[in-house]
Amino acid sequence: MASLKSQPIEAHSAIAEDAVPEFEASGIGNRTWYRTVFFQATVIGLCAFFAPGLYNAMQSTGAGGQQTPYLVMSANAVLGVMMVVTCSMGSVVANRIGLKNALIFGTTGYALYSASLYTNNRYGNEWFVYVGSAACGITAGVFWAAEGAIMISYPEDQKRGRYLAYWLAYRNGGSIVGGAINLAFNATGKTTGKLDYRTYIVFVALQCLGPFVAMLLSPPDKVQRQDGRKVAKAERIPTVLELKAVAKILIRKDFLLVFPFFFYATFLLSYAGSYLSLYFSVRSRALASLVSALAQITANFIFGNFLDWKRFTINQRARFAYFGIMALFGGTWVWAIVIQREYGLKAPALDWVDSGFGRGWALYILLQVNFALAYNYGYWLAGYMARDNAEIIRFTSTVRAVEAAGGAVASGISSTHAPLIAAASVNFGLWGLALIPTYFAVRSIDAKPLGDIPEEESSKSVSL
């Protein structure tokens, strides 16, 4: 550990520092390694790896790895509804128990969800799928709110984009490991069907580690940033006042403008899962869970570095990034509708050795990249829309509730036997509805560092 005691480097001095988040080629000076922002981001990343990362790995095989999507999508709708409630109450929960305890609690439900898929896959049990989904929804909503607030408030403002990419790399890393597990157990599945039941046993075991990792998080007043600035430790306020503060966000003009974007952000996942499960072989789905995670990590690191690129102003980065991702999203849905019309005439069952496999399979990978970019940009945007340190947890909780609502509606649609071209068309329509209103919010974004406000100047907020 001697290398960790070298002299600190200035916040804006070296190209090497801009390349990675915190352990930049030099050292961390007099800082304690487990109090650095990098370590906190790693803790959040590992929690994301074991909890939503492995959950996403199962979902990225299409409908949780089941033979048909309808039961899982119905259960996911229940999960999404529960998340709307708990995400909305995320700041209230954190206000009572603190973000660290909220994070620990938030990791506990994912293993139950995986266990429910195991019992359904092996024994045909259905009721436990709904119970596991409800439990996951209750805890995951709190997790979503807590992780977002920490990853926006802990890093230095000028490194936020890269830290978001670093954190999301762990989440996608869960999908990579999960994808490798999926592929190892299902490499011989040349036809459509469900995953090997042993896949889920490994997932349950790994997801049980999440709460223990969350215990390593440091409180904000003990975090040691590289630039020496402190993360503000906010005070607790009465629950009634917290609820009133959340209600004020719901009627803010800028929040209403970005509402369609956040509702759209997770809506596409249900379509993507149904698309993959209905048209591709088991091993092709397992491969997709691995490749999509690698593609997401690559795209997020490139995108995160652009969001922190000082050649452009904050406002220019916000607008240019928005133009880029929305153009990509729109083009993807045009491609999806073209392919979906073709598949609607005669549903294929594609394996990776079949002709025509690449064109349809690549669409799924691109859909997952679209989700990753929307997710990254949404968090980055929320960091600049929160008006003070007190609003970080409230704003992230609220927008995550909107995302959960979109996911719940999409899962409800996918739980029916409605044609997939209808789901693709709804997604395209939501993209169009979000395009203009969100831009009006994006064009007003400007530099406004949060999470480092002196405690005596910070308004009362949740206990971080």
C-alpha distances in Å from residue 90, one per residue of 140, 209, 438: 10, 22, 24
Q: Is residue 204 part of a domain?
A: yes
CB 179 within 8 A of CB 60: yes
Q: Is residue 22 part of a domain?
A: no
Number of residues written out for the chain = 464
Segments forming the whole domain that contains residue 398: 32-224+234-442
pLDDT score, position 145: 81
Q: Is residue 447 part of a domain?
A: no
Sole residue written with tokens 């609690």: 105
| Per-10-residue mean pLDDT, the chain, length 464 | 38 37 48 88 94 78 50 82 88 85 94 89 86 92 86 82 85 77 66 67 91 92 80 73 88 94 92 87 82 89 89 92 97 95 85 87 94 91 80 84 89 82 94 96 74 42 42
CB 207 within 8 A of CB 85: no
Identify the CATH number of the domain in which residue 335 sits: 1.20.1250.20
The neighbour count for residue 426, using CB atoms within 10 Å, is 17
The one-character DSSP state at 80 is: H
Q: Is residue 390 part of a domain?
A: yes
Secondary structure (DSSP) of 109-146: SHHHHHHHHHHHHHH---HHHHHHHHHHHHHHHHHHHH
252's CB contacts (< 8 A; 6+ apart) are none
The one-character DSSP state at 65 is: G
Q: Is residue 7 part of a domain?
A: no
Secondary structure (DSSP) of 147-186: HHHHHHHSS-GGGHHHHHHHHHHHHHHHHHHHHHHHHHHH
CA dist., res. 114 & res. 93, Å (int):
25
Q: Is residue 20 part of a domain?
A: no
pLDDT score, position 237: 76
Rounded (10°) CA dihedral 364, 369, 372, 376 = -160
Q: Is residue 454 part of a domain?
A: no
Sole residue written with tokens 């960091």: 383
CA dist., res. 194 & res. 186, Å (int):
9
Q: Is residue 304 part of a domain?
A: yes
* Number of domains, the chain: 1
CB 254 within 8 A of CB 385: yes
